[in-house]
Amino acid sequence: MMTSNSYAVVGLSFNSPKTVKIRDFVAANCDKNLVFVVGAMPHGNIDADYIDDFIPVSGYPPSADTCLYRICDALESNWKIF
């Protein structure tokens, strides 16, 4: 089990008031185990009390597969896999 300060639960929302690129977010939080919460559809909001923060993936409501692609791309870039 992870301690509470070792991970961050992040929800993805195009409605987030923040302006952050997911690659920059991943790089800035490389000391944490990140848990991403992805909704199954581009409409509505994720309503879960366990989410610590919301960040945007796009200025438009992307599909779940687009969100997952962007998460994987950011992690690959940060870990220098590709």
Domain of 36, CATH number, reads: 3.40.1280.10
Structural domain containing residue 21: 4-79
Residue 2's nearest CA partner among 47, 38, 50 is 50
What are the helix (H) ranges across 1-82?
22-28, 64-79
- Per-residue pLDDT, 4: 59
pTM: 0.79
Over residues 29-77, the pLDDT tens digits come to: 888 888 888 876 666 677 778 888 888 877 788 888 888 999 999 999 9
Structural domain count, the chain: 1
